């Protein structure tokens, strides 16, 4: 038998997927099977001969099973350097045999703490100690020991044994996987303790881990490699989405689709469940509208800026029906459409008219608990974006009081504005964002862009600014677009000047007390 092939294997797993098949293959090569508890029972029930760990250690399991494998007879057999005569002499002195293959997976701590009714004691008991210790011992000594923590790797390990050699490259790859797995496991425990015991919004050490879902065709540009990762413990909408046709999603498709999906649902929720449509181009809305009808909301969102909508991302918060399809096939090509579902025959009709458009069917998005953004050598961490101050707490600061319809437009404009890159100005009339000015270095030019795009269609509506107007010229620009009400955070040292200018121009103005920068 090759030195790289196991003579003795220790198997102790919670997830027993593929266990019997692997153990049967090992036994067929004369490998002695050592095991614990439920794993040993499962193997014996399959007709396999198994040696209990307690028979090797000479000690029974104690403390309700908390101590099973934490014994020198186990870890000595795993950790001994086979090429070191002194190590092997120590094993011989103490009657310890080597363990050449370790197959372990861990208690499901993360799945346990996600249960709404889990108790603290139940969670603590799912913190595996012996399992990670065996995995780390075997991974450290991967020069001599093969270690497996993932049932999906059983087949390639069995194939290597069948071929007569477990190569160093495979052992090293499996060891790398173990250290990534135990790091992720410990990170989940640390996050849970920080959340439930320390109560810290921002702990002194930020621990997170992610698993690669798939590589992407490229990043923001073709010369940039990219991949999609899922945060451990997260259940994101895109992981549960169904794609109907089209090429695989790209880095920018996913980035923009996430922004569109969040905005469409946010607008729908903020307006009492109305149909909401958001069209995103380069991470910014170029169209957004709410209505009682999805088809009407789509048409109005598209009409905001048809030129920019070409090649954009369209998010709809209701199932796509026949009437909406008629509007969509008559409009410009979209790169991607995302909706909760599609009515009978809708997918086929859209694909027939828009062959290159990818259609996603996805569950509602759940915002992250924290928003992370990389900077050179580190991360910025903040609470996620939200419009926090209710409209009932906004303050009218002008002589003129806005009507209810104007306040409805102001509320929608400010919410859309919060999703637009700063500096941002948004003009809304009758539930439609007719003008969106995004990402300019000064607020006046953002207002000019918004007014140019609105082209008079926002007259009598609302103008929202994501931050205060520092000078009265911004008020003049908004009034020049014909709006009836301006909504802004307030807080400038020149607030009195801007209020006076709004009064002079006969425009109502509302202070939200809440800035909504987005970078």
21-24-30-31 Cα dihedral, nearest 10 degrees: 60
For residue 285, cis peptide bond before it (omega within 30 degrees of 0): no
Q: 265 catalytic, yes or no?
A: no
How far apart, in Å, are the Cα atoms of 196 and each of 113, 147, 190?
10, 33, 10
Parallel/antiparallel/unpaired status of strands 226-231 and 275-281: unpaired
- Angle separating helix axes 168-193 and 154-163, nearest 10 degrees: 160
Report the candidate in 102, 97, 138 with the shortest Cα–Cα distance to residue 26.
102
User: 16, 29, 87, 140: which one is catalytic?
Assistant: 140
- What confidence tier does 300 reach under pLDDT thresholds 50, 70, 90? very high
Maximum CA extent, the chain: 97
Point out which residues pair with 288 in neighbouring strands: 278
Residue (of 479, 486, 463) closest to 416 by Cα position: 463
DSSP string, 293-311: SHHHHHHHHHHH-HHHHTT
Residue 248, pLDDT score? 87
Q: 140-144: list long-range contacts, CB under 8 Å, 24+ apart.
A: 140/79, 140/175, 141/78, 141/79, 141/80, 141/81, 142/171, 142/172, 142/174, 142/175, 143/81, 143/82, 143/83, 143/168, 143/171, 144/80, 144/81, 144/82, 144/83, 144/98, 144/100
Q: What percent of the chain stands above pLDDT 70?
A: 98
Instruction: State the pLDDT at residue 210.
Output: 86
Quick check: 110 and 188 in contact, CB under 8 A?
yes
State the Cα angle at 72 between 68 and 74, rounded to 5°: 60
pLDDT digits 0-9 by tens, 477-515? 999 999 999 999 999 999 999 999 999 999 999 999 999
Q: What is the pLDDT of residues 147-176, one digit of tens each?
A: 999 999 999 999 999 888 899 899 999 999
pTM, entire model: 0.81
> What residue has token string 């607020």?
443
- φ and ψ of 325, to 5 deg: -60, -40
Sorting pLDDT into bands at 50, 70 and 90, what band is 2? very low
Higher pLDDT, 364 or 67: 364
- pLDDT above 70 (res 3): no
Q: Is 282 an active-site residue? A: yes
What are the φ and ψ backbone dihedral angles of 179, each rounded to 5 degrees?
-65, -35
State the pLDDT confidence band at 122, using cuts at 50, 70 and 90: confident
Helix axes 37-45, 19-28, angle to 10 degrees: 70
Task: Collect all residues with Cβ–Cβ distance below 8 Å to 176 and sequence separation of at least 6.
Answer: 139
Dist. CA 142–CA 71, nearest whole Å:
20
Q: Is the pLDDT of residue 58 over 80?
A: no
| Interior angle at CA 419, CA 418 and CA 420, nearest 5 | 95
Query: Is residue 227 classed as helix, strand or coil in its secondary structure?
Result: strand
Show the domains of the chain with their CATH numbers: 8-198 (3.40.50.1380), 242-361 (3.40.140.20), 391-511 (3.40.140.20)
Cross-strand partners of 242 = 361
Check if the beta carbon of residue 261 is closer than 8 Å to that of residue 361.
Answer: no
Q: Which of 31-35, 367-371, 390-394, 401-405 has the lowest mean pLDDT?
A: 367-371
Residues 202-257: tens digit of each pLDDT = 777 787 888 899 999 999 999 999 999 998 878 899 999 999 988 889 999 999 99
Among 16, 244, 282, 385, which one carries the catalytic annotation? Answer: 282
Binned at pLDDT 50, 70 and 90, residue 1 comes out as very low
Average pLDDT value for residue range 61-70: 73
Contact 322, 294 (CB under 8 A): no
Distance of alpha carbon 113 from alpha carbon 123, whole angstroms: 6
Task: Report pLDDT for 203.
Answer: 75
* Average pLDDT rounded to a whole number, residues 404-419: 95
Exposure of 235 by Cβ count < 10 A (0-12 exposed, 13-18 middle, 19+ buried)? exposed
Tell me the C-alpha distance between 231 and 186, whole Å.
Answer: 14
How far is it, in rounded angstroms, from Cα 459 to Cα 412?
A: 15
Name the residue with tokens 């200018």.
501
Q: What is the mean pLDDT of residues 75-104?
A: 90
pLDDT in tens, 279-295: 999 999 999 999 999 99
Pure H helices in 164-282: 168-193, 251-270
Select from 390, 370, 391, 393 the least CA-distant residue to 381. Answer: 370
Dump the DSSP string for 163-194.
Answer: HT---HHHHHHHHHHHHHHHHHHHHHHHHHHI
For position 197, what pLDDT does the model report? 57
- pLDDT per residue as tens digits for the range 323-333: 999 999 888 88
Taking residue 412's Cβ as centre, other Cβ atoms within 10 Å add up to 29
Residue 301: CB atoms within 10 Å = 31
- CA neighbor of 299 nearest in space, from 435, 431, 425: 431
Taking CA atoms, 277 is separated from 112, 211, 320, 501, in Å, by 37, 32, 11, 34
Reported as a single tens digit per residue, the pLDDT across 178-204 is 999 999 888 888 888 877 654 567 777
CA distance 471 to 483: 18
Residue 301 pLDDT exceeds 90:
yes
Show contacts of 93-96: CB within 8 Å, 24+ apart. Answer: 96/72
Residue recorded with tokens 């009598």 = 460
């Amino acid at each position: 038998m090759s030195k790289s092939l196991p003579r003795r294997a220790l198997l102790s797993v919670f997830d027993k997927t593929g266990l019997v098949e692997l153990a049967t293959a090992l036994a067929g090569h004369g490998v002695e099977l050592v095991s614990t508890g439920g794993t040993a029972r499962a193997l014996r029930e399959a007709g396999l001969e198994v040696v209990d760990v307690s028979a090797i250690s000479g000690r029974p399991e104690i403390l309700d099973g908390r101590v099973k494998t934490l014994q020198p007879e186990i870890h000595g057999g795993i950790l001994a350097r086979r090429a070191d005569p002194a190590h092997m002499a120590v094993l011989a002195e103490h009657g310890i045999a080597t363990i050449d293959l370790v197959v372990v997976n861990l208690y499901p701590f993360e799945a346990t703490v996600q249960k709404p009714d889990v108790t603290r004691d139940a969670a603590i008991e799912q913190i595996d100690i012996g399992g990670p210790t065996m995995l780390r011992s075997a991974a450290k000594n991967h020069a001599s020991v093969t270690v497996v923590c993932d049932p999906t790797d059983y087949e390639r390990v069995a194939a290597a044994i069948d071929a007569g050699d477990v190569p160093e490259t495979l052992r090293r790859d499996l060891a790398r996987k173990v250290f990534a797995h135990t790091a992720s496991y410990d990170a989940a425990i640390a996050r849970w303790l920080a959340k439930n015991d320390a109560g810290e919004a921002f702990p002194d050490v930020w621990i997170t881990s992610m698993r690669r879902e798939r590589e992407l065709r490229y990043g923001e540009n073709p010369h940039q490699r990219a991949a999609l990762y899922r945060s451990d413990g997260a259940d994101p909408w895109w992981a549960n989405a169904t794609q109907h046709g089209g090429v695989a999603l790209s880095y920018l498709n996913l980035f923009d689709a996430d922004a569109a999906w969040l905005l469409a649902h946010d607008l729908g929720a903020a307006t009492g469940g109305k149909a909401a449509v958001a069209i995103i181009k380069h991470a910014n809305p170029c169209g957004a509208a709410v209505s009682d009808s999805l088809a009407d909301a789509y048409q109005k969102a598209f009409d905001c800026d048809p030129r920019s909508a070409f090649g954009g991302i369209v998010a709809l918060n209701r199932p796509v029906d026949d009437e909406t399809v008629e509007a969509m096939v008559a409009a410009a090509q979209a790169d991607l459409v995302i909706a909760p579902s599609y009515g009978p025959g809708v997918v086929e009709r859209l694909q027939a008219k828009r062959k290159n458009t990818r259609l996603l069917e996805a569950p509602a998005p759940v915002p992250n608990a924290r928003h992370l953004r990389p900077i050179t050598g580190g991360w910025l961490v903040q609470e996620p974006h939200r419009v926090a101050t209710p409209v009932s707490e906004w303050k009218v600061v002008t002589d003129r009081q806005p009507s209810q319809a104007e306040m409805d437009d102001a509320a929608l404009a400010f919410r859309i504005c919060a999703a637009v890159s700063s500096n941002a100005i948004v003009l809304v009339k009758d539930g439609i964002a007719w003008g969106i000015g995004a990402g300019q270095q000064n607020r006046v030019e953002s207002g000019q862009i918004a007014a140019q795009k609105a082209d008079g269609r926002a007259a009598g509506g609302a103008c929202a600014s994501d931050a205060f107007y520092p000078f009265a010229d911004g008020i003049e620009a908004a009034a020049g677009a014909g709006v009836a009400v301006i909504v802004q955070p307030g807080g400038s040292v020149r607030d009195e000047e801007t209020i006076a200018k709004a009064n002079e121009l006969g425009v109502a103005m509302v202070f939200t007390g809440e800035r909504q920068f987005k970078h």
